[in-house]
Chains A and B, each alone.
Chain A
Amino acid sequence: MTDQTDTAPLAALLDGPPRVVAAGVELFETTLRDQGVDVVPVDWRPPVDGLAAELARVAADPRTEEANRVALERVIAAEPHWVGIRTAREAVGIETGQFLHAGPPITWERASGPLRGALIGAMLYEGMAETPEEAQRIGERGELELAPCHHHRAVGPMAGVVSPSMPMFVVENGAFGNVAHCSLNEGLGKVLRYGAYAPEVVERLQWMAQVLGPALGAAVGRLGSLDLRAVISQALQMGDELHNRNRAASALIVREIVPPLLEAGIDPGDLADVVRFVNGNEHFFLNLGMPAAKSAMDPARDLPGSTMVVAMARNGTDFGVQVSGTGDQWFTGPAEVPDGLFLGNYTAEDANPDIGDSTIMETAGVGGFAMAAAPAIVRFVGGQASDALDATRSMYSIALGEHPHYQVPILEFRGTPVGIDVTRIVRTGTLPFVNTGIAGKEAGTGQVGAGLVSPPISAFADAVRALAAAAEAPVG
């Protein structure tokens, strides 16, 4: 029984005709309108998979509201800075024979073509094998150790393969002191992250380790650090959504690093190569944006009761989700083949299912969630500029809040939807809007296109089931 002294007086209920939110029977909405009442109708639909009881248990968990508030606050308070370049060996502590990859955990047997291709390329690059065939056999014998980037404070685009000698960006979240890492972007076309391992792929990786990495390290060393939140904020106002379009952000980085590069005493030939490489790569920033997003999401992990998605990632076979309130557990479903535009003669037939950790961008409130900032790229899926607006606006219904720093000019500078609430995905059936590149399914092919992909709803439904199982009952 309650103590009557707890009862607050009813807030303004009887002060005048109420404005009514109506969910359910349409007739009641009509009768209210007939009375001249202000009505906001809810376009309500039953939840996915009939998860009514599970959703009720999660909603009733007395920890959820506060946990989600804290999770969101942490994400939007993040201050990601690029602070340096380190080899993977130093940055994420892997040794020869150990490899990181994108997405949830996977074995060689279940790995898709592009992931195997990237692992083959990485073995060649590390000198573990002389030929692709030999590398393939090492893989088949299970003589390499695989772990998700996400388990090592890292993220990797597409195949996301990281081997010990690769240089990595080091990004520090100034607000919390945590760090995240990512390999350097190799450009487009035949590149390791899309599963290519031809000699020029490996040669480029070597140049990146010997020339590009040290040069960038020297540049950022002279800068001290580079504020990535500021770059992302500006790029959103310049037509990037920071996943499939990074043109403005990459240009902003060139603008920042050229002066310190010039001062760093680098061999003029190398210097020209570095500047030309960075300047010619319009996705150069993605590999900084991803660890920036990762570093923003990690402090929101492990909050009991929180329903916020802290990672979405694909390994080319499975799509995986991690949620703050369920710790390190992955909820997986089959990765879908993206829908989009294909390069040259490639078609959907050549496409591998969805791959990469780059969905960390959507997780952190940009990428597909900021589509309205980048109408130029809706044509990847044959869409119109208005589709870009609708994409972002529909994501507010599954987001916990809006990002105060990441704004979309055409939505009157409204903050991007941020902090995906897994329960709202299941309640509304609205899936996260994910932009992505498309890898060829045969090992060694490389990129074949770019477009949109739908995550499997089952992964989110399973996350809700796990949250429900872990939910605390309300104290009555």
Chain B
Amino acid sequence: MVDHLDIRRGVYADSVSLMQVSRRVADVDGVDGALVAMATELNLELLAGMGFEATDAGPNDLVVAVRAADDDVLQAALAELEAALAASRGGGAAASFGDAPPPRTVRDAAALGGDLALVSVPGEHAYVEALDALRAGLHVMLFSDNVPLDAEIDLKRQAEQRGLLVMGPDAGTAIVSGVGLGFANVVPPGPVGVVAASGTGAQQLTCLLDDAGVGVSHVLGVGGRDLKEEVGGRSTLQALQALDADPATEVVVILSKPPAASVADRVRAAAAECKTPVVMGLLGPGQDDLSAITAEVLGRLGREVPAWRTWGEPVRAGGGDRLVGLFAGGTLCAEALLIAEAALGPVTANVGERADADAAADPTASGHVLVDLGEDEYTRGRPHPMIDQQLRLERIAAEAARDDTAVLLLDVVLGHGAHPDPAGELAPAIADARRTAAAAGRELAVVVSLCGTVGDPQGRDRQAAALAEAGAQVFVSNAAAARAAVACLG
């Protein structure tokens, strides 16, 4: 027999709780006797009856007495004691007596359980909430834009130390184990893992893969600045490593603008060490477009590259000479710009190297124009155009009324978070625009890049049919749409 006696000064619990604790300790196999109680006179007598003496304990002290068969039993009994004492306080509080007030910070919410925090508060406040998440051991998807660069660097440094991933800032899209975060299309599970510094780029890639019958394992957004020198590709490298270790991932795609030279070296070195094949999908002048990158991924998997789906009949523009592109997706707009400029020469745009937001916003400016309506200047104080199309509908009407507008190029992005029925608004606007032009003796060509999947809540094919019905030619490949738009100019 082993006797254990300890006195815990100033620890108080009520007698009923302690009787339950005593019972649990006494019920441990091999325990011959146990008393956990406040050292009142009565309890000290009970203790003496058990053959223990605690002369210097008073009624404000907790006394623990255990008689056990051997040391192992005693250790088990003491472990049970701690568990029982812990269980006697806290615990079910959240469930009792009505709802607790809702959590007001990520820290408080994280205490209720979570693996990942999706932070989309205004950028200036995002750092503090994201840091709460990291400190609570949660991964972060940072949808917020306008997050200062030093805040991004610090978050990613801290995440790296903790084995956590920061996706973003300005990460529009992620899919983690089938869960779409932010704007994401519904795609089946599959072999492709994506590391994306571009939200709509990742959406285009996954939608094209889906069109080819290939699903994705995970899409990890890293934010558009991750591969800049200052950030050093931290999230990209972590995501690459994680996907390499993921048994479901057979090929990894890294989607990004061409990285800073030093970062490019490190990413290439890391990719070379991966057991999983890695496709570098670099977006920019002289690089493959997203459709070509998708084809390369399919090639790595030994899959056929299908003819990308299209709906509606080609229309040759009659009258006018301008190409007008109105986009909701930044990367889709940038990709269309590269293709348009290669064919047509300089195009005014608010994306890319020579971005000119003022000229792109001017509805009276001459020449070809491509506008990303998701840029900051359009989203301050108003929802993203993937959610609210009002600005675009107004601009379509204004452009259709001009006698020099020949081709309208639009994108439609479907999926979680996007407008529930974009074609429901766009199709009538397209039909109206074409009627306006026809009334002036022109044939307005409308081309739509439709980024979506059959599984998306809006239904890709239903959307495509409505748009084609209104007279638009619809492409699932954004690059194909841009080429078709250029071709319409004749």
Interface status of A405 (Cβ within 8 A of chain B): yes
Interface status of A65 (Cβ within 8 A of chain B): yes
Residue of B98, B165, B416 ringed by the most chain A CB atoms within 10 A: B416
Known: A13-B242, A23-B117, A32-B118. 8 other contacts (CB 8 A): A7-B160, A15-B177, A31-B417, A41-B109, A233-B10, A394-B101, A414-B91, A474-B157
A407 to chain B: which residues have CB within 8 Å?
13, 89
Establish whether residues A43 and B102, one from each chain, have CB atoms under 8 Å apart when the complex forms.
Answer: yes
Establish whether residues B157 and A476, one from each chain, have CB atoms under 8 Å apart when the complex forms.
Answer: yes
Interface status of B119 (Cβ within 8 A of chain A): yes
Interface status of B178 (Cβ within 8 A of chain A): yes
Q: Who on chain B is nearest to A55 by CB?
A: B128
Min CB gap B218→A, angstroms? 6
**CA of A12 to CA of B100, assembled, Å:** 29
Interface status of A345 (Cβ within 8 A of chain B): no
Interface status of A269 (Cβ within 8 A of chain B): no
Per a CB cutoff under 8 Å, which of B112, B178, B239 touches A40? B112
Interface status of A190 (Cβ within 8 A of chain B): no
Bitwise interface map of A from 118 to 136 toward B, beta carbon under 8 Å scored 1, else 0:
0000000000000000000
Establish whether residues B125 and A47, one from each chain, have CB atoms under 8 Å apart when the complex forms.
Answer: yes
Interface status of A381 (Cβ within 8 A of chain B): no
Establish whether residues B139 and A56, one from each chain, have CB atoms under 8 Å apart when the complex forms.
Answer: no
Interface status of B414 (Cβ within 8 A of chain A): no
Interface status of A70 (Cβ within 8 A of chain B): no
Establish whether residues A24 and B121, one from each chain, have CB atoms under 8 Å apart when the complex forms.
Answer: yes
B158 to chain A: which residues have CB within 8 Å?
474
Chain B positions within 8 Å of A, measured between CB atoms, are 9-14, 17, 60-61, 88-93, 96-98, 100-106, 108-110, 112-122, 124-125, 127-129, 131, 133, 135, 137-139, 143-144, 148, 150-151, 153-154, 157-158, 160-165, 176-182, 217-218, 232, 234, 237-239, 241-243, 245-246, 248, 262, 270, 387, 416-417, 457
Establish whether residues A227 and B104, one from each chain, have CB atoms under 8 Å apart when the complex forms.
Answer: no
Establish whether residues A17 and B90, one from each chain, have CB atoms under 8 Å apart when the complex forms.
Answer: no
Interface pairs A-B: 7 shortest CB-CB:
A24-B120, A8-B163, A230-B60, A413-B89, A233-B12, A18-B115, A52-B124
**CA of A220 to CA of B239, assembled, Å:** 65
**CA of A231 to CA of B11, assembled, Å:** 10
Min CB gap B219→A, angstroms? 11
Report if A28-B121 is in contact (Cβ < 8 Å); known contacts: A397-B104, A397-B108, A407-B89: no
Q: Who on chain B is nearest to A25 by CB?
A: B120
Establish whether residues A28 and B101, one from each chain, have CB atoms under 8 Å apart when the complex forms.
Answer: no
Min CB gap A329→B, angstroms? 23
Per a CB cutoff under 8 Å, which of A13, A22, A43, A405 touches B12? A405
**CA of A14 to CA of B219, assembled, Å:** 10
Establish whether residues B417 and A65, one from each chain, have CB atoms under 8 Å apart when the complex forms.
Answer: no
A396 to chain B: which residues have CB within 8 Å?
108
**CA of A110 to CA of B240, assembled, Å:** 65
A414 to chain B: which residues have CB within 8 Å?
89-91, 93
Interface residues of A in 85-99 (CB under 8 A from B): none
Min CB gap A412→B, angstroms? 5
Interchain Cβ contacts under 8 Å between A and B, 23 examples: A12-B115, A13-B116, A13-B165, A14-B177, A15-B177, A21-B110, A21-B133, A24-B121, A28-B182, A31-B416, A44-B121, A44-B129, A46-B125, A52-B124, A56-B127, A56-B148, A56-B151, A234-B60, A390-B101, A397-B103, A411-B93, A415-B89, A427-B105
Per a CB cutoff under 8 Å, which of A6, A19, A53 touches B161? A6
Establish whether residues B165 and A10, one from each chain, have CB atoms under 8 Å apart when the complex forms.
Answer: yes
Interface status of A16 (Cβ within 8 A of chain B): yes
Establish whether residues A10 and B238, one from each chain, have CB atoms under 8 Å apart when the complex forms.
Answer: yes
Establish whether residues A2 and B157, one from each chain, have CB atoms under 8 Å apart when the complex forms.
Answer: yes
Per a CB cutoff under 8 Å, which of B88, B118, B243, B416 touches A35? B416
Establish whether residues A44 and B104, one from each chain, have CB atoms under 8 Å apart when the complex forms.
Answer: yes
Min CB gap B270→A, angstroms? 8
Establish whether residues B12 and A427, one from each chain, have CB atoms under 8 Å apart when the complex forms.
Answer: no
Interface status of A402 (Cβ within 8 A of chain B): yes
Establish whether residues B90 and A21, one from each chain, have CB atoms under 8 Å apart when the complex forms.
Answer: no
Establish whether residues B180 and A35, one from each chain, have CB atoms under 8 Å apart when the complex forms.
Answer: yes
Establish whether residues A21 and B10, one from each chain, have CB atoms under 8 Å apart when the complex forms.
Answer: no
Q: Who on chain B is nearest to A410 by CB?
A: B97
A231 to chain B: which residues have CB within 8 Å?
60
Establish whether residues A60 and B160, one from each chain, have CB atoms under 8 Å apart when the complex forms.
Answer: no
A230 to chain B: which residues have CB within 8 Å?
10-12, 60-61
Report if A21-B109 is in contact (Cβ < 8 Å); known contacts: A32-B179, A55-B128: yes
Q: Who on chain A is nearest to B90 by CB?
A: A414
Chain A positions within 8 Å of B, measured between CB atoms, are 1-2, 4, 6-25, 27-28, 31-32, 34-35, 37-38, 40-47, 52-53, 55-56, 59-60, 65, 79, 227, 229-231, 233-234, 237, 386, 389-390, 393-394, 396-397, 402, 404-405, 407, 409-415, 424, 427-428, 430, 474, 476
A237 to chain B: which residues have CB within 8 Å?
12, 14
B165 to chain A: which residues have CB within 8 Å?
10, 13
Establish whether residues B115 and A20, one from each chain, have CB atoms under 8 Å apart when the complex forms.
Answer: yes
B262 to chain A: which residues have CB within 8 Å?
1
A394 to chain B: which residues have CB within 8 Å?
101
**CA of A390 to CA of B13, assembled, Å:** 23
Establish whether residues B154 and A474, one from each chain, have CB atoms under 8 Å apart when the complex forms.
Answer: yes
**CA of A44 to CA of B160, assembled, Å:** 26
Establish whether residues B17 and A413, one from each chain, have CB atoms under 8 Å apart when the complex forms.
Answer: yes
Per a CB cutoff under 8 Å, which of B114, B122, B127 touches A46? B122
**CA of A424 to CA of B245, assembled, Å:** 38
Establish whether residues B105 and A42, one from each chain, have CB atoms under 8 Å apart when the complex forms.
Answer: yes
Establish whether residues A412 and B90, one from each chain, have CB atoms under 8 Å apart when the complex forms.
Answer: yes
Establish whether residues B101 and A393, one from each chain, have CB atoms under 8 Å apart when the complex forms.
Answer: yes
Report if A42-B60 is in contact (Cβ < 8 Å); known contacts: A10-B139, A20-B115, A24-B120: no
Q: Who on chain B is nearest to A404 by CB?
A: B89
Establish whether residues A17 and B101, one from each chain, have CB atoms under 8 Å apart when the complex forms.
Answer: no
**CA of A7 to CA of B117, assembled, Å:** 20
**CA of A32 to CA of B175, assembled, Å:** 11
Establish whether residues B90 and A23, one from each chain, have CB atoms under 8 Å apart when the complex forms.
Answer: no
Min CB gap B94→A, angstroms? 9
A476 to chain B: which residues have CB within 8 Å?
150, 153-154, 157
Residue of A24, A231, A405, A424 ringed by the most chain B CB atoms within 10 A: A24
Per a CB cutoff under 8 Å, which of A6, A17, A40, A55 touches B109? A40
B96 to chain A: which residues have CB within 8 Å?
410-412
Establish whether residues A31 and B109, one from each chain, have CB atoms under 8 Å apart when the complex forms.
Answer: no
Q: Who on chain B is nearest to A36 by CB?
A: B179
Per a CB cutoff under 8 Å, which of B105, B151, B153, B157 touches A397? B105
Establish whether residues A52 and B125, one from each chain, have CB atoms under 8 Å apart when the complex forms.
Answer: yes
B121 to chain A: which residues have CB within 8 Å?
23-24, 44
Min CB gap A50→B, angstroms? 9
Min CB gap B195→A, angstroms? 12
Per a CB cutoff under 8 Å, which of B118, B182, B242 touches A23? B118
Min CB gap A252→B, angstroms? 9
A28 to chain B: which residues have CB within 8 Å?
118, 120, 143, 181-182, 417
Q: Who on chain A is nearest to B157 by CB?
A: A476
Per a CB cutoff under 8 Å, which of B93, B135, B179, B457 touches A20? B179
**CA of A337 to CA of B416, assembled, Å:** 51
Report if A23-B109 is in contact (Cβ < 8 Å); known contacts: A13-B115, A474-B157: yes
Min CB gap B451→A, angstroms? 16
Per a CB cutoff under 8 Å, which of B125, B160, B457 touches A6? B160
A409 to chain B: which residues have CB within 8 Å?
14
Establish whether residues B137 and A42, one from each chain, have CB atoms under 8 Å apart when the complex forms.
Answer: no
Establish whether residues A234 and B160, one from each chain, have CB atoms under 8 Å apart when the complex forms.
Answer: no
Per a CB cutoff under 8 Å, which of B61, B154, B237 touches A7? B237
Q: Who on chain A is nearest to B262 by CB?
A: A1
**CA of A15 to CA of B247, assembled, Å:** 10
Establish whether residues B131 and A59, one from each chain, have CB atoms under 8 Å apart when the complex forms.
Answer: yes
B178 to chain A: which residues have CB within 8 Å?
17
**CA of A23 to CA of B102, assembled, Å:** 12
